[in-house]
Structure 1
Amino acid sequence: MRPNARKNIIYSIILLIIVFMVYLYRQNQKPQETVEVVPDTKISFSGSTMGTSYNVVYLDEKRRNFKSSVDSLLVELNKSLSTYIPNSEISRFNQQDSLVYASPFFFPVLEKSRDIYQWSEGAFDPTVGPLVNLWGFGPEGPEKKEDASVYERLRLVGFDQLEFDQKVVRKNRQGLYLDFSAIAKGYGVDLVAEFLKQKGIANMLVEIGGELVGRGVNDKGEIWKVGINQPDEGALRNDLYAILALDNKGMATSGNYRNFYEKDGKKYSHTIDPATGYPVQHELLSATVLAKDCMTADAIATAVMVMGKEKAIQLREKNPDFDLFLIYTGESGDLEFYANEEIKPYLSNLPSPNQ
């Protein structure tokens, strides 16, 4: 082969190599195909209401934020049921003998209150307000008032001294006073959860002041899990006694270990027994209740704290429509717990079994 022909072949090969390398370079410089990523569907927000805070978490593929609507709903609820607002519906009723409802909120709370009052045999009683105020747990502040005796205030207590229908509520005894603080937060949770449901939200966790509704699953596809606090006045919010999986239920916890004051070396609990007129004194420290809705759970938790451990367990045995988890001081002085069989599979992080 002649030298010129050999050179041409070599140049052609080199040219092909160069063209191929340029092709590879240009391919590497092209934008890579993007992998479609499912957008984050978790929405969360919080705020203030009913003298406490609220937190809402839900999953929504449309990424809608309903905070302004939830705030508006809770403002209207407060205007109806808060004794801390002088011109609220409940405040107006407490200042007069009857009330024609101005909102859709008052009657459902009265109706549920009557149900829990009856089957708790009076342990839950929203007319205990005069005694709550007397012992210093109402709007006027944390100290027993000296302007009236317990006996005088006790005469004003009794939910059966009310008459009401879907339009109006009346007092059968002058001076009767309503206080919905033991049921209103639970009702607020239900209202927010129902609002979200109407917007097509199936997976949610709604909380107001520790009362909750959990529906569906979280962003990991798991049942919502919530903590039950250590019943200790010095415990932080993340000091947990147990963890509870909330499977499409309402949950409320009531306790005597935080809301109290001391006078002359004696502790006074915010839980007032409607039967005696005095703050309760027993071994029960915390009661967590699960029910089909949070308003029911909230009211039952209060009733249970009034009753004490033994009567609370008896109430659960008669009414299996709710679940019960109690933390109490045992005979040795250590913390112990009770849980009915149906709630046990949903509990975790418990101390060593004690019964």
Structure 2
Amino acid sequence: MVSNSRKNLIYSLVLVVLIGAVYLYRNREAGPVEKQNNSPLSGWVNFSGQTMGASYQVKFKTNRNENFQSKIDSIFTRVTLAFSSYEVNSEVNRFNLNDSLASPSADFLDMLVFSKDLNSKTFGAFEPTQKPLENLWEFSKNGPFRKDSTEIAFVMPSVGIQKVNVSDTLIRKSNSGTLLDFNPSAIGWAIEGVGNYLEKLGISDYWIQIGGQIRAHGLNERGELWKAGIRYPNPGSGEAKEGALALENKTISPAGNWEAFYLNDSTRISFTLDPRTGMPVRHGLLAAWAINANSKKADALAEVLMILGPREAMKMDSMDTDLEMILIYNEKGSPFKIYASPEIKPYLSFPIE
């Protein structure tokens, strides 16, 4: 008879062989196990963080075993060091403090050239030196009021990007009261930099978002166009609804807020200052989205639309073939109205008359 100890040994050996056989069979059927996020097998990389006072998300498809986050973060850092007023040692803060800046970075020079050009094309509506005017005003639900006794006429001579003299080696003010503020444009600069970097790597399917600004290229994980959320009012009731715009290799940049306004003679007015007059705007444009292939341009033009108002914005739409827009506005005693460029209406999830 076989002893119990010998039987136990035989049973143990048989069990080990069976376990090994099952393991080999399952691995043969399942194939290699996919790694998470940034492996060439999963294809999609997705990470997020904070930059320039806002949250960001970057998502893209790649066949490389690398997520490039450190390089992308370095782009954000470079833009912050050039343009952020919240970074003590940024170039813009050093310029504002010292009235000049020697050996400016390529980013800073490019921003100034871009700003001067857009200021000219928009007849002063795009104005990165309007900070002294903003310091005079405060907005509330009851309307704007002057929080400073200083006369607007006294401040206006310091406003104007053309008062900043630019050369490759030195930037200098012609008026010591002039202050540059690139915070409204810096996010577009950062998104453009990251998008160009990804495309140089051969990456064509990606999503970059900082705050409310989004640049989308190619297709998402489901093989569809990326979709940006649009919160809009029901034109009749004013009830907030959620919609979306499908983006085909474009950037969308928002400005204003149709849910925050004050009333003036039965017209809803946004909390927007016109740098050309130093006074709050008087028209009924409450929110705008600028859509453009260039992230820098989309970011800057969204603010411009809020200054121009609905009629001038629509004229701009008819003249600028590169610019598309969505506007939410009202007129005296009227309900909310929505305007969208004809080219993007097929990409919206909600109808516009």
TM-score with structure 2 setting the length:
0.79
Quote how far apart the aligned CAs of 1:101 are.
3.8
**Alignment length (residue pairs):** 313
Aligned residue for 2:294? 293
- Contact 1:112 1:296 (8 Å CA) reproduced: no
Partners of 1:231 and 1:110 in 2: how far apart?
37
User: Could you tell me which residue of structure 2 aligns to residue 225 of structure 1?
Assistant: 227
Deviations 1:114-141 (A, max 9, x none): 221111111111111211233359xxxx
> Where does residue 52 of structure 2 map in the other structure?
50
**Is the contact made by 2:104 and 2:170 (CA closer than 8 Å) also made in structure 1?**
no
Aligned AA for 1:179?
D
**1:167 counterpart residue number:** 169
- Within the candidate set 188, 191, 199, 1:189 is matched to 191
- Please tell me whether the aligned partners of residues 79 and 189 of structure 2 are also in contact (alpha carbons under 8 angstroms): no
Q: Which residue does 2:158 correspond to in 1?
A: 156
1:34 aligns with 2:29: yes
Which amino acid counterpart does residue 316 of structure 1 have in structure 2? D
Distance, in Å, in 2 between the alignment partners of 1:231 and 1:94 is 41
SS in 1 for 2:297: helix
Give the whole-Å Cα distance in 1 for the aligned partners of 2:246 and 2:146. 39
1:108 to 100, 107, 110: 110
Instruction: Determine the structure 1 residue equivalent to 2:178.
Output: 176
Question: Aligned-pair distance for 1:197?
Answer: 2.1
Rate the CA distance shift 1:331–1:258 in 2: closer, same or farther, 3 A: closer
Q: Which secondary structure does the structure 1 equivalent of 2:158 belong to?
A: coil
CA drift of 1:269 comes to 5.4
- Of 124, 127, 130 in structure 2, the residue corresponding to residue 125 of structure 1 is 127
8 Å contact from structure 1 (residues 285, 327) kept in 2: yes
Q: Tell me, in whole angstroms, the C-alpha distance in 1 between the residues paired with 2:302 and 2:161.
A: 18
The RMSD of aligned alpha carbons is 2.9
AA aligned to 2:304 is: A
Q: Which amino acid letter does the alignment assign opposite residue 254 of structure 1?
A: A
From the superposition, tell whether residues 270 and 183 of structure 1 become closer, same or farther in structure 2 (CA, over 3 Å).
farther
Aligned-partner Cα distance in 1 for 2:228–2:202? 23
Q: Write the letter of the residue equivalent to 1:77.
A: V
Within a 5 Å distance, the mapping from 1:272-287 to structure 2 comes to 272-287=273-288
State the secondary structure of the residue aligned to 1:74: helix
Equivalent in the alignment of 2:3:
none
1:53-90 deviations in whole A, cap 9, x for unaligned? 11111111224222222222212211110112232100
Amino acid at match of 2:94: R
- Does the aligned pair in 2 maintain the 1:273–1:279 contact within 8 Å? yes
Other structure's SS at 1:225 match: strand
Q: CA deviation at 1:240?
A: 5.1
Separation in 1, partners of 2:190, 2:46: 17
Aligned equivalent of 2:328:
327
Distance 1:340 1:296 in 2: 17
Q: Report if the CA contact (8 A) 1:287-1:305 is conserved.
A: yes
Aligned-partner Cα distance in 1 for 2:166–2:260: 32
Whether contact under 8 Å (1:43, 1:63) holds in the other structure is no
- TM-score normalised according to structure 1 size: 0.79
Cα displacement (A) at 1:147: 5.9
Does the 8 Å CA contact 2:82/2:107 hold for their aligned counterparts? yes
* Residue equivalent to 2:319: 318
- Indicate if the aligned counterparts of 2:164 and 2:171 stay in contact, CA closer than 8 A: yes
Shift of 1:191: 1.0
Q: Which amino acid aligns with 2:281?
A: V
Q: How far apart are residue 319 of structure 1 and its match?
A: 1.6
1:113 and 1:126 in contact (8 A); partners too: yes
Alignment-derived partner of residue 21 in structure 1: none
Report if the CA contact (8 A) 1:129-1:179 is conserved: yes
- Corresponding residue of 1:235: none
* Residue deviations 1:237-279 (CA, integer Å, cap 9, x gap): xx754311111112211114478899xxxx9955320112123
Is the contact made by 1:127 and 1:179 (CA closer than 8 Å) also made in structure 2?
Answer: yes
Structure 1: runs of 5+ lacking an equivalent = 1-24, 233-238
Aligned 8 A contact 1:186 1:212 in 2: no
**Which residue number corresponds to residue 83 of structure 2?**
81
- What letter corresponds to residue 322 of structure 1 in structure 2? L
The yes-or-no answer on 1:253 pairing with 2:254 is: yes
Letter in 1 for 2:85: T
In 2, Cα distance between equivalents of 1:88 and 1:146: 28
Question: Paired residue for 2:94?
Answer: 92
Residues 107-166 of structure 1 show CA distances to partners (whole Å, capped at 9, x for unaligned) of 1211221221111111111111211233359xxxx9964263322222211122222134
Q: 1:201 aligns with which of 197, 200, 203?
A: 203
Give yes or no for contact 1:256–1:271 (8 Å, CA) kept in 2: no
Query: After superposition, what is the alpha-carbon deviation per residue over 1:302-326, rounded to whole angstroms, capped at 9, x for unaligned?
Result: 1110010001111122222211111
Contact map agreement 2:46 2:60 (CA 8 A) in 1: yes
Residues 258, 49 of structure 1: CA spacing in aligned structure 2 closer, same or farther, 3 A cutoff? farther
Give structure 2 stretches of 5+ with no counterpart.
1-17, 35-40, 235-239
